[in-house]
Amino acid sequence: MLQIAVVQQPPVYLDLKASMARAVELVAEAAARGARLLVFPEAWLPGYPTFVWRLAPGAGMRKVDALFALTQANSVDLGRGRLRPLQEAAREHEIVVVVGYQELDGAISGSTLFNSCAIIDADGRILNNYRKLMPTNPERMIWGFGDGSGLNVVETAVGRIGALICWESYMPLARFALYAQNLDIYVAPTWDSGDTWMATMQHIAREGGCWVIGCATTLEEADIPPSLPYRDELFPTAGEWINPGDAVVYEPFGGAVAGPMRKEKGLLVAGIDVSAAHASRRKFDASGHYARPDVFQLSVDRQPRSAISLN
């Protein structure tokens, strides 16, 4: 059995340096508990911009501008090696890390942010970096649109892993694009929680015949720093659970084997048999014997897209 761990600890909200230090500590803690795979939620570095759901459209634009600037200043520029501490921790502890983070496009615009997810192998290499294709509703005030270049399932030290972010798990064609790449473990870093999201995670475990790991950032009002602009307006309720977390692990074609972990902080640890994914697809293989390619075909453009070509 493979031990895995799911992070249900908040970052140091919108503080990249402190959040990165906390992430490195969590890698060490997970490894000490025997985990060989560690999963972080959506935009965990440096924290999901939940403020976009709490400000009135139009009237709150100046406030969004100030909060965006803080988020931007604490986002990760891969081109400058800003994930390196986490990569080094993965290599030191020989653990695969899947991490959701806010990515700064430093190569071209130097300004646009993406909701990204990196898969770091146990040797510290980034095997895949995926930018969320479709930010949801007010998230589009913060994040740009990704392209298909990261829509990959990659071979890691613990099996073949792919990821979609939050409500992209409702996109059937995006899911199929992962199923068709011999998927073992489907990771769904998210901000969602609750019974409806649990039903979606279980559906994917059955539809894809894969292990499914769902996780949102558990966050309380007390985790929001006093220095955050407009804090009292955004988070007026003392003791509020802003997000309960609901970290969960579903088995292929079956039910939950761990979680949901609700309104708790820590690591959700579970043992999984990676080989069970392939075996479960005897009954239903969405991209295999149930695919009917004579009737249905999907074309996926995985070319990276850029606004400029500098020759």
Task: Say if residues 130 and 151 touch (Cβ distance below 8 Å).
Answer: yes
Greatest extent of the chain over all pairs of C-alpha atoms, in Å: 59
CB 83, CB 131: distance < 8 Å: no
Instruction: Count CB neighbours of 237 within 10 A.
Output: 8
In whole angstroms, what separates CA 157 from the centre of its chain? 19
What is the C-alpha to C-alpha distance for residues 169 and 93, in angstroms, rounded to an integer? Answer: 30
Residue type, 220: E
Query: How far is Cα 251 from Cα 186, in angstroms, rounded to an integer?
Result: 10
Catalytic residue set: 42, 132, 166
Those residues whose C-beta lies under 8 Å from the C-beta of residue 207, and which sit 6 or more positions away, are: 175, 179, 284, 286
Peptide bond into 172 cis (omega under 30): no
Kindly give the residue spans of alpha helices, DSSP state H, lying in the chain.
Answer: 16-32, 61-73, 84-93, 172-179, 195-208, 231-234, 276-280
DSSP 142-171: TB----GGG---EEETTEEEEE--GGGGG-
Q: Tell me the HSE value of 97 on the side-chain side, using a 13 A CA sphere.
A: 34
Q: Of 92, 121, 83, 84, nearest to 32 (Cα)?
A: 92
Q: Distances in Å between the alpha carbon of 93 and those of 33, 60, 96, 168?
A: 11, 44, 9, 31
**Cα angle at 38 between 37 and 43, to 5 degrees?**
140
